[in-house]
A and B are shown apart, each in its own frame.
Chain A
Amino acid sequence: DAGVTQSPTHLIKTRGQQVTLRCSPKSGHDTVSWYQQALGQGPQFIFQYYEEEERQRGNFPDRFSGHQFPNYSSELNVNALLLGDSALYLCASSGDSRLRKQYFGPGTRLTVT
């Protein structure tokens, strides 16, 4: 049973560029949440996707956008990259809404230079 997968593993971009990160949820899960984790900090909620819609959004600018596909996989897009966007981007998937458990992928390390 495959867990949550993310791609790419690492990415280096230049300020002002755009980036797309990808996530495939754990088998049987239909909900995907994205988090940003700066060095030495806990993960910060960016947004959650369910039924191909953004269900809730955290305190992030609209440079951060996402998408969920019919197979439940998801993309995170960040436009006009800033140096401060350098972080580990984590995807978490969940399935049973009663249990409310979230399972994380390995993350994508984004470095903006």
Chain B
Amino acid sequence: GQQLNQSPQSMFIQEGEDVSMNCTSSSIFNTWLWYKQDPGEGPVLLIALYKAGELTSNGRLTAQFGITRKDSFLNISASIPSDVGIYFCAGLASGTYKYIFGTGTRLKVLA
């Protein structure tokens, strides 16, 4: 099935470092959602974005809706061990109810 491209695919970082990841699409979206998923559990909604250029924060997390409407970015500042998990982006095009998910970025934090 169709999936959005997320990069990096995985990353190891030191505790306290900042993390950046992105999600790209060939289609234009009018909504971006970012989720975190722990093994064997359902994804947890982190941030929702609705307008091109929008910048939204949730604690140490900041996400941006790309100005082309074909990409989105997630930053995590001062990472901690509990940030470990898989981060998924999901995009929704106008006139549809079907979210398309990314391939995921697996984050591993070294204490």
**Chain A residues with a Cβ under 8 A of chain B:** 4, 33, 35, 41-45, 48, 50, 55-56, 58-59, 88, 90, 99-107, 109
Between-chain CB contacts (< 8 Å), 10 pairs: A41-B3, A41-B103, A42-B90, A43-B101, A44-B1, A45-B99, A56-B98, A58-B98, A101-B33, A106-B42
B37-48 contact mask (Cβ, 8 Å, vs A): 1 or 0: 000111111001
B1-40 contact mask (Cβ, 8 Å, vs A): 1 or 0: 1011000000000000000000000000001010100001
Cα A90 to Cα B44 with chains together (Å): 12
**Chain B residues with a Cβ under 8 A of chain A:** 1, 3-4, 31, 33, 35, 40-45, 48, 50, 88, 90, 92, 96-104
Cα A99 to Cα B96 with chains together (Å): 14
Q: With contacts A42-B103, A44-B3, A104-B45 known, what are 17 further pairs, Cβ within 8 A?
A: A33-B99, A41-B103, A41-B104, A43-B101, A44-B1, A44-B101, A45-B99, A45-B100, A55-B97, A58-B1, A102-B33, A102-B90, A103-B45, A105-B42, A107-B40, A107-B41, A109-B40
State the Cβ distance, A66 to closest chain B Cβ, in Å. 14
In this complex, which of A4, A33, A104, A109 has the most chain B Cβ atoms within 10 angstroms of its Cβ? A104
Cα A18 to Cα B88 with chains together (Å): 30
Residues of A within 8 A of B88 (CB): 42-43
Cα A106 to Cα B40 with chains together (Å): 8
Cα A102 to Cα B35 with chains together (Å): 10
State the Cβ distance, A43 to closest chain B Cβ, in Å. 5
Cα A17 to Cα B1 with chains together (Å): 24
Residues of B within 8 A of A105 (CB): 42
Residues of B within 8 A of A35 (CB): 101
Q: Is the beta-carbon distance between A48 and B43 smaller than 8 angstroms?
A: no
State the Cβ distance, B21 to closest chain A Cβ, in Å. 14
Q: Is the beta-carbon distance between A48 and B40 smaller than 8 angstroms?
A: no
Q: Is the beta-carbon distance between B97 and A48 smaller than 8 angstroms?
A: yes
